[in-house]
Amino acid sequence: MLNKEDIKIEQAVIHILDTSSSIPVLSDLCMELNNEVKEFIQGHIFRILTSDDLKQCGFTNTTSSVYQELINMSGDSFIQTTKYLSGELYNIMMKNVEIPSADVLYALFKVNSNMSLAILKMNYKQSYIHFVDKEENSTVNKIIKQRTILPSETQKLDEAIVLDFKDMSLKLIEKKFEINGKKAFYLSGIFLECSWEFSAKTKISVVNKTVEQLNKKYFEDDLEKKVEFKKAMYEQYIDEGEISINKVADKVFEKDLEILQEFKEKVDQYGLLEETVQLKSKQAIKKYEKQLIKTDSGIEINIPIEQYKNSDILEFVNNPDGTISIWIKNISKLIGG
């Protein structure tokens, strides 16, 4: 398992790509890597490499100038290569006004002696800062809007690239912006010219939405079916450390073969039917650990998924008048939240 301390920063440089200016501001020298800067860069790279938003990518055009610059990159050519890449990126940004301005930080780093390159596009945030002004020999403290604030160490980046020099494979986090009149991924599609597969988060989202559609269509949005699916996902992750979409579907819809077939056809349209999803973030699986029940009277109950079917702990009773009673049993102590 990767730890933040495993990431060893070798060189880093930052270039300013502000499209409100007529040209990018490119640095001629590397940054001084003091402890604060190292921790800042390490933190962002670690968050990227352990994110379930990460897409696995591969170059499709090995004759492109960007690929050639990257494959021939060395420690000695680091500055010049990053300047070239920034120029290419800036040209794309200038042609497509929806792409946000940013400082782009490039960092050569090692993990277990394996060299990689991180390209961190730090899109500007807006914030307010104080400003000390002088008016007729008097000091006036003002509040002004600062439009070029960088993301903090703990903030998640919307756009980032990690290149592994060992096999020239790419890991990518990106967003769609309007390109030539329609939303598209410009980092993978234009800048890198690479193909990609869905991130773990997107794969799970596709499966969740497909199950929700079928639940509404065939089971009138039945709560029991939702719980059954959530429980199958959670138990397989706990047992195997990963989630096989095929296995989950077979378990949830084993008695409904027509619905199972429809599920598989829908998921297969995305090429995900035979996929096994490996979640890196503990937070991603947490939402499968409990089932929230909301009543029409405003009461909410958060039930651990493993106890949902345990009649010694919980029981749902259908009353003659059509209402439902929930019995929570064997409570030794009530704790306020």
Q: Please list, in sequence order, all residues whose beta carbon lies within 8 angstroms of the beta carbon of residue 283, skipping any fewer than 6 positions away.
A: none
Supply 222's token pair.
Answer: 């039945």
- The pLDDT assigned to 189 comes to 94
> Within 10 Å of residue 231's Cβ, how many Cβ atoms?
18
- The pLDDT assigned to 337 comes to 61
Among residues 195, 254, 217, the alpha carbon closest in space to that of 57 is found at 195
Distance linking the first and last C-alpha atoms of the chain: 34
- The pLDDT assigned to 25 comes to 96
d(CA 234, CA 248): 10
d(CA 233, CA 244): 9
Helices (H), 253-336: 257-268, 282-286
d(CA 141, CA 153): 28
Task: With beta carbons less than 8 A apart as the criterion, state whether 248 and 203 touch.
Answer: no
In the predicted model, what is the mean pLDDT of the chain?
Answer: 90
Q: How many Cα neighbours within 13 Å face the side chain of 215? A: 18
Among residues 318, 294, 292, the alpha carbon closest in space to that of 305 is found at 292
Supply 192's token pair.
Answer: 């890198």
d(CA 61, CA 133): 53
Supply 331's token pair.
Answer: 């409570």
- The pLDDT assigned to 267 comes to 87
Supply 103's token pair.
Answer: 């400082």
Please name the helix (run of DSSP H) or strand (run of DSSP E) that holds residue 40, with its range, or none.
helix 35-49
d(CA 50, CA 2): 8
- The pLDDT assigned to 254 comes to 87
> Within 10 Å of residue 336's Cβ, how many Cβ atoms?
3
Supply 292's token pair.
Answer: 């929230």
d(CA 43, CA 3): 10
Identify the segments of the chain with pLDDT beneath 70: 337
Interaxial angle between packed helices 257-268 and 245-252, expressed in degrees from 0 to 180 and rounded to the nearest 10? 160
The structure tokens 């600062």 sit at 146
- Which value, to the nearest 10 degrees, does the dihedral of the CA atoms of residues 192, 193, 197, 200 take? 20
Q: Strand, coil or helix: what is 14? A: strand
Supply 210's token pair.
Answer: 């497909």
Domain boundaries, the chain: 4-197, 201-328
d(CA 259, CA 179): 38
- For residue 198, what is the DSSP state? -
